[in-house]
Structure 1
Amino acid sequence: MAKVLITGFEPFAGESINTSWQVANALHHWQLDDEVSVVAQQLPCVFKQCLLSLEQAINQLKPAVVIMLGQAGGCAQLQLEKIASNYIDAHIADNAGQQPRNSLTASHGPAAYFSNLPLHASLNALQLQHIPAQLSLSAGSYVCNHSFYGLMHLIKNQYASIKGGFIHLPYLPEQVIHKPNTPSMALTTLISAVQIVIETSLQQRPDQLVT
């Protein structure tokens, strides 16, 4: 049976929950069909430890697809991340009190990697279901981007057969009760959205660049 690894982060920056883990955990053991099952893994919002946890999960599971989820407060749409940048500039400390500035994820790695998920096909599939989503060309410079780059670096060097990428999710409604005019999206919609990306990723080829 093919495995799909979905990761989400623990809460950070004073939040009591993290959208990404709420969605990932809801998909744990979800089966697309008799041939595909999903495993969810929570990652610490800590620069060093998140990559160690991610690599351990991939080594154990040997998934066909890895979809990492992160929380992007203030966004009104799913952000399908295209580019993982080899750059860290933490605007706040992580959950271990680390706040690296102007540094690299991989000292000898390339400046960036592209996701090898079929992002354009996923975007079309989401829009057909009237789920707000867009392609994003920056995953930021915090733990999310760091872990995304770490995933793509691992795929490049050890697991070339894996399709992998990152999606930023809006807040859940319960997170914005005391945040006026801050967008959110229902948990059921977010779960459906990630299910669509999973199915599309298993069925479609990665995006092909036009040269």
Structure 2
Amino acid sequence: MKILVTGFDPFGGETTNPALEAVKGLPTTINGAEIIKLEIPTVFNKSAEVTKKAILAHNPDVVLSIGQAGGRFTVTPERVAINLDDARIADNEGNQPIDQPIQIDGAAAYFTQLPVKAMVQAIKEAGLPAALSNSAGTFVCNHIMYQVQYMIANEFPEMKGGFIHVPFIASQVVDKPSSPFMSLTDIIASLEKAIEAIVTFDGKEDVKTIEGTTH
């Protein structure tokens, strides 16, 4: 199995992005799967263009995108991407789409093909905090998750795709005393466990654990 793992560059005034640093820290092989690492820009549309070039070059079985979610306490695999760009802040090239569809002819939403509950379970069993998320937001993180799913639906039907959000790391919260964070080491370990689950559950149904929320 070949897994393309993408990480965004820093954005929103930050000088680092734990998603990218964690991707860089992953081993080149996990549970027998080849890991291909890719930095992508925190830019609407361009992030998808860079990702598609890598898909064409490497023909991966899975595209797993990683993004920063400052304020979250846990590593959170995402279940669904929605067809909406609604940017609270501008991206790294000054684009700030408001209430715009990502793809005019795309579905309202796409669900990941990855075993997200098994991924959460694997992270928790390693003694690390994780939770299933049902909203990837409406910024570039949701954008790239949706764009990859759109590619799967229209061009790469044998490929699978998904997204994981990760918290801040310690250096980012020096001036944000109320913000949660994780160590980069723990984030990398969490991603490794999630990828191990992706490989283990390839061709199998996801586990049926309780991960739903009331609001």
Normalised-by-shorter TM-score class: over 0.9
Question: Which of 131, 134, 139 is equivalent to 1:137?
Answer: 134
Distance 1:145 1:107 in 2: 16
Question: Which of 181, 196, 210 is equivalent to 1:199?
Answer: 196
Assess if the C-alpha contact under 8 Å between 2:76 and 2:120 holds in 1: no
Q: Would you say 1:120 and 2:117 are equivalent positions?
A: yes
Question: Which of 59, 62, 65 is equivalent to 1:65?
Answer: 62
State the SS of the aligned residue for 1:196: helix
Quote the residue 2:85 is aligned against: 88
CA 194–101 in structure 1, closer or farther in 2 if over 3 Å, else same: same
Show CA shifts across 1:42-95 (max 9, x none): 111110210100111111111112110000001110111001000110001111
> What are the equivalent positions in structure 2 for 1:95-174 lying under 5 Å apart?
95-174=92-171
- Normalised to the residue count of structure 1, the TM-score between the two structures is 0.93
Quote the residue 2:14 is aligned against: 15
> In the TM superposition, what is the alpha-carbon distance from 1:4 to its structure 2 partner?
1.1
Distance 1:120 1:13 in 2: 30
Question: Which of 17, 28, 31 is equivalent to 2:29?
Answer: 31
Assess if the C-alpha contact under 8 Å between 2:65 and 2:145 holds in 1: yes
Assess if the C-alpha contact under 8 Å between 2:118 and 2:207 holds in 1: no
> In the TM superposition, what is the alpha-carbon distance from 1:36 to its structure 2 partner?
2.2
Distance 2:23 2:57 in 1: 18
Distance 2:159 2:45 in 1: 22
Q: Percent identity?
A: 38
List, as ranges, runs of 4+ consecutive aligned residues in structure 1 with deviation greater than 3 Å.
206-209
Greater share of strand: 1
State the SS of the aligned residue for 1:159: coil
> In the TM superposition, what is the alpha-carbon distance from 1:39 to its structure 2 partner?
1.1
Distance 1:186 1:3 in 2: 27
Consecutive unaligned residues of structure 2, counting only runs of 5 or more, are 209-215
Distance 1:47 1:169 in 2: 20
State the SS of the aligned residue for 2:5: strand
Distance 2:119 2:144 in 1: 21
Distance 2:199 2:158 in 1: 12
> In the TM superposition, what is the alpha-carbon distance from 1:208 to its structure 2 partner?
8.3
Assess if the C-alpha contact under 8 Å between 1:7 and 1:68 holds in 2: yes
Distance 1:148 1:102 in 2: 17
Question: Which of 173, 179, 185 is equivalent to 2:176?
Answer: 179
Distance 1:168 1:119 in 2: 12
Distance 2:58 2:207 in 1: 27
Letter paired with 2:5? I
Distance 1:26 1:82 in 2: 24
